[in-house]
Amino acid sequence: MSESKERAFALIRQWGDPVLRERARPVEAFDESFAQHVSELEEIMREADGAGLAATQVGSLRRVFVYRLPDDEDDAPARVIVNPTIVESGEAVDAALEGCLSLGRARVHVEVERPVDIVLEAQDAHGEPLRLEVSGLHARIIQHETDHLNGVLMLDRTTPEHKRGAVRALNAGESFSPEPADGEAEIDV
């Protein structure tokens, strides 16, 4: 593991840390201190090679997360979501393997079923209202990161069998990944 990745993971709270089960509080001040916090989240996410990172994952109880999509340009700034609320979820669901920077340093993957389509209301990094209608991987990343802000981990959303395997692996400091179904891809969020 590279030195920058090691540095990033030293800052990311890992499974068992009580802060990961806390509900984050709404952001009210969109000041220089908040902008610096968002910048730090983005830097840690990039160094850890993650698709997203919620503030709770670095011990901050602010309702903010950053994320990137696979098609985003490498030098494009991360997308920032503040004070998110999923206001609508479609009926169609899809199961896919998810990883998490806070679970075994992204070495643990479990299958998670989530709505394919969602509508999100939030604010951007400057406090401006934001409404997103997203689907597929974009929706999955937003749901995963919003879960973090609500104290919910992907282990809470997987099958009992996958949860048992993942917890055994986490306790042993090992990797875990069930066989993906045809066409499934893993994503570390």
- Per-residue pLDDT reduced to its tens digit, 152-174: 999 999 999 999 999 999 999 99
What is residue 179's predicted lDDT score, i.e. its pLDDT? 75
Q: Which residues are catalytic?
A: 145
Q: Is 148 annotated as a binding residue?
A: yes
84: domain CATH number is 3.90.45.10
Cα angle at 18 between 12 and 20, to 5 degrees?
50
pLDDT at 26: 99
Write down the pLDDT at residue 181: 58
Task: Determine whether the annotation assigns residue 162 to a binding site.
Answer: no
Instruction: Indicate whether 17 pLDDT > 60.
Output: yes
- Model pLDDT, residue 104: 81
Q: Chain-wide mean pLDDT for the chain?
A: 94
Average pLDDT value for residue range 35-46: 98
Residue given tokens 């986490």 in the structure block: 170
| DSSP-H helix ranges across the chain | 3-11, 32-48, 136-149, 160-172
Give the mean pLDDT of 138-162: 98
Question: Residue 16: is its pLDDT beyond 60?
Answer: yes
Q: What pLDDT is stored for residue 106 in this prediction?
A: 79
Q: Does pLDDT of 48 surpass 90? A: yes
Q: What is the pLDDT of residue 75?
A: 86
C-alpha to C-alpha distances, 95 to 103, 115, 121, 127, nearest whole angstrom:
19, 9, 24, 33
Instruction: Please tell me the predicted confidence (pLDDT) of residue 180.
Output: 61
C-alpha closest to that of 90 among 59, 106, 113:
113
Q: At residue 183, does pLDDT exceed 60?
A: no
- Alpha-carbon gap, residue 36 to 149, rounded angstroms: 19
d(CA 115, CA 104): 25
pLDDT for the residue numbered 182:
55
How confident is the model over 130-141, as a mean pLDDT? Answer: 98
**What percent of the chain has pLDDT above 70?**
95
The predicted model gives 103-121 an average pLDDT of: 95
Domain that holds residue 182: 3-188
- The answer, as to whether pTM is greater than 0.85, is yes
d(CA 122, CA 86): 9
Q: Is the pLDDT of residue 2 over 90?
A: no
Q: Are 70 and 84 in contact (CB under 8 A)?
A: no
Task: Please give the tally of structural domains in the chain.
Answer: 1
User: Is 144 annotated to bind ligand?
Assistant: yes
Residue 185: is its pLDDT beyond 60?
no
